[in-house]
Amino acid sequence: MDSVEHYQAFFKTVEGTPLPWLETLRAPSRERFIAHGFPDTREEAWRYTPLRSLERARFTPSKEVHAIPSEPLDLDLMRDAYQVVFVDGHFSEAASCLEGLPKEVYLKPLSLALKAPGEHLAGLFENTETASCHRLEDFNRALFSEGLCLDIQPNYHLEKPIVVLHLAQQAHGLNTLQHRLRIAPGAHAHLIEVFIGHDDSPSLTTSMTYAEVAENSSLRHVKLQREGKASHHYSGLRLQLKRSGRYRGHLSSLGALWSRTEIHAQLGSSAECELEGLLLASGRQHQDVETRLDHCGTEALSRQTFRGIAHERGRGVFTGRIVVAPGADKTDAGMSLRNLLLSSEAEIDARPQLEIHADDVKCSHGVTVGQLDEEAVFTLQSRGISEAEARHMLTFAFANELIERIDPASARASIRDALKASLPGSDFGSEP
């Protein structure tokens, strides 16, 4: 049985919903996936990211386990936040905490929302492009039945962050989630997504986040990917920034054996989009980040800052495309990607791309690939620090520049700890 047939069998489990709009959304994706299957490296967008290991493994949708997860969930970043926990792709009411949620905020897991589908829910799913999808997005759409629904009323500032924790426990489990966010005009929200899993249980998590950030509203977003070392991870963000909408996002992609994160944003006039990200590929890890920013309106601003570290047999792949539509004058778009390549079996592939159809623009990108500064290593050694420790310190400092800017402090601390644990020579990682 080939992989398409294998997954086709599970499509039926989510079919037959009484909601016509949901079926309209799923059906085209389902057909496309059956027709084309998984993408291969002959496709430009997947040139550097083979899916062989993902295709070979046969994942099955995880069963719902009602017990409270065995994993300790008292991560620093969960403190002082609304907590939504998904265990193996299922909402865990026991582990979640939504106490004190103001009435201006509609926040529900999709499975519960579907039981009483109101206008909120349909509204969150409208305006979704169904004619074309980005390959694995089709796979996700054909199978999702869980996720987060967030709708914030106009001019409401939700200061307390919402932490969405995804925990993968079941071996060979397939977890499919789709989050839908709508930030109404003038409103503000702060979302923290965390993916964690067991090192010894391979699983596949696909998670799509669709966010509509309306006029003058803003969204802050932090994503920490720390899946288990044998896992596969695919996640995507589809962002619509309306006039003067603002988005600030940080991505730390540290875990999983194979990981791909896609961030696609459409910027309306005077919108601002700031993306920062960190990729760490060690062992045999494959870390792929793809961004595409469409500047559709005038005077929009975008900044992308990414850092990649590849060591051992890790491979870091980065593709970043900036597209400026005709008439999107006064666009200001900048992208910077810096990489550390630390071992002779590691690899970095980068494709920074500019596609510009307007003339009154300022666009630039810069890429560097290099090593640690040997003089800096020497300076530290001359102060009595061992070479290995010196390298660890410098590598950490390289990544930490981005982590310093994460908000709130609790998320910053969590990500810093996760990074220290994953860096080469992590035994030196203890804080003084």
Partner 1 sequence: MSASQEQIDNLIHKEYKPGFVTDLEADTLPPGLNEEVIRAISQRKNEPPFMLAWRLKAYEQWLTMSEPDWAYLDYQAIDYNSISYYSAPKVKEAPKSLDEVDPKLIETYKKLGIPLHEQERLAGVAVDAVFDSVSVATTFKHKLKEAGVIFCSFSEAVHTHPELIQQYLGSVVPPSDNFFAALNAAVFSDGSFVFIPKGVRCPMELSTYFRINAANTGQFERTLIIAEDYSHVSYLEGCTAPMRDENQLHAAVVELIALDHAEIKYSTVQNWYSGDEEGRGGIFNFVTKRGDCRGRHAKISWTQVETGSAITWKYPSCILRGDHSIGEFYSVAVSNHRQQADTGTKMIHIGKNTKSTIISKGISAGRAENTYRGQVKILPGALNARNYTQCDSLLIGPKCGAHTFPYIEIKEPTARLEHEATTAKISEDQLFFCQQRGLSAEDAVSMIVNGFCKQVFKELPMEFAVEAQALLGISLEGSVG
376 counts as binding partner 1 under rule CB under 8 A: no
If the CB atoms of residues 26 and 321 are measured against partner 1, the closer one turns out to be 321
Among positions 73, 136, 148, 363, the unique one binding partner 1 when judged by CB under 8 A: 363
Nearer to partner 1, 345 or 401 (CB): 345
Q: State residue 427 phi and psi, 5-degree precision.
A: -65, -15
Report the chain's terminal Cα–Cα distance, integer Å: 55
Q: Residue 371 interacts with partner 1 (CB under 8 A)?
A: yes
Q: Does 65 bind partner 1 (CB under 8 A)?
A: no
DSSP 336: E
Binding mask 123-142 for partner 1 (x = CB under 8 A): --------------------
By CB atoms closer than 10 A (0-12, 13-18, 19+), residue 167 is: buried
# residues near partner 1 by CB under 8 A:
37
Decide: helix, strand or coil at residue 92. Answer: coil
Using CB atoms within 10 A of its CB, is residue 290 exposed (0-12), middle (13-18) or buried (19+)?
A: buried
Which region, judged by CB under 8 A, interacts with partner 1, from 17-25, 82-90, 345-353, 395-403? 345-353
Binds partner 1 by CB under 8 A, chosen from 327, 379, 388, 405: 327
399 binds partner 1 (CB under 8 A): no
Phi first, then psi, for residue 350 (nearest 5°) are -135, 140
**Nearest CB to partner 1, comparing residues 287 and 414:** 287
Q: Does 361 bind partner 1 (CB under 8 A)?
A: yes
Map 346-369 to HEC letters. CEEEEEEEEEECCCCEEEEEEEEE
The reply on whether position 352 binds partner 1 by CB under 8 A is: yes
Task: Find the Cα–Cα–Cα–Cα dihedral 316, 173, 45, 317, rounded to 10°.
Answer: 0
Identify residues 177-216 at the interface with partner 1 (CB under 8 A).
none
Using CB under 8 A, which of 130, 155, 343, 379 touches partner 1?
Answer: 343
Closest CB to partner 1 among residues 329, 417: 329
- The two tokens of residue 128 are 């979704």
**65/358 with CB nearer partner 1:** 358
User: Which region, judged by CB under 8 A, interacts with partner 1, from 12-20, 166-174, 259-267, 344-352?
Assistant: 344-352
Count of all residues that appear for the chain in the document: 432
Query: Whole-number minimum distance, CB 353 to partner 1, in Å?
Result: 5
Task: Classify residue 135 as left (phi > 0), alpha (psi -120 to 50) or beta.
Answer: left
Which listed residue (360, 373, 387, 401) binds partner 1 by CB under 8 A?
Answer: 360
- Our finding on whether 356 is near partner 1 (CB under 8 A) is yes
Report the residue from 174, 346, 418, 419 that binds partner 1 according to the rule CB under 8 A: 346
> Site map for partner 1, 268-307, x if CB under 8 A?
----------------------------------------
DSSP letter for 137, please: H
- Window of 215-223, 236-244, 279-287, 323-331 that interacts with partner 1 by CB under 8 A: 323-331
H or E element in which residue 111 lies: helix 110-115
| Options 80, 357, 387, 397; binder of partner 1; rule CB under 8 A | 357
Contact 335, 352 (CB under 8 A): yes
Q: Which amino acid is at 205?
A: T
The distance of closest approach from Cβ of residue 372 to partner 1 in the complex, given in angstroms and rounded to an integer, is 10
Residue written as token pair 């970095």: 348
Distance CA 167, CA 205 (A): 10
Instruction: Tell the residue number behind the tokens 């969405």, with chain if given.
Output: 164
> Based on CB atoms, which residue is closest to partner 1, 203 or 339?
339
Shortest reach from residue 334's CB to partner 1, in Å:
10
Beta strands in 60-172 (DSSP E): 60-61, 82-87, 90-91, 105-109, 148-152, 162-168
Stretch that binds partner 1, among 103-111, 127-135, 289-297, 353-361 (CB under 8 A): 353-361
* Pick 127 or 353: Cβ nearer partner 1: 353
Does residue 341 touch partner 1 according to CB under 8 A?
A: yes
Beta partners for residue 197, in sequence order: 168
42 lies in the site for partner 1, by CB under 8 A? no
SS (H, E, C) 266-318: EECCCCEEEEEEEEEECCCCEEEEEEEEEECCCCCEEEEEEEEEECCCCEEEE
Could you tell me if 275 and 303 are in contact, meaning their C-beta atoms sit under 8 angstroms apart?
Answer: yes
- Residues of the shown chain interacting with partner 1 in the complex, contacts defined by CB under 8 A: 44, 48, 326-327, 329, 339, 341-371
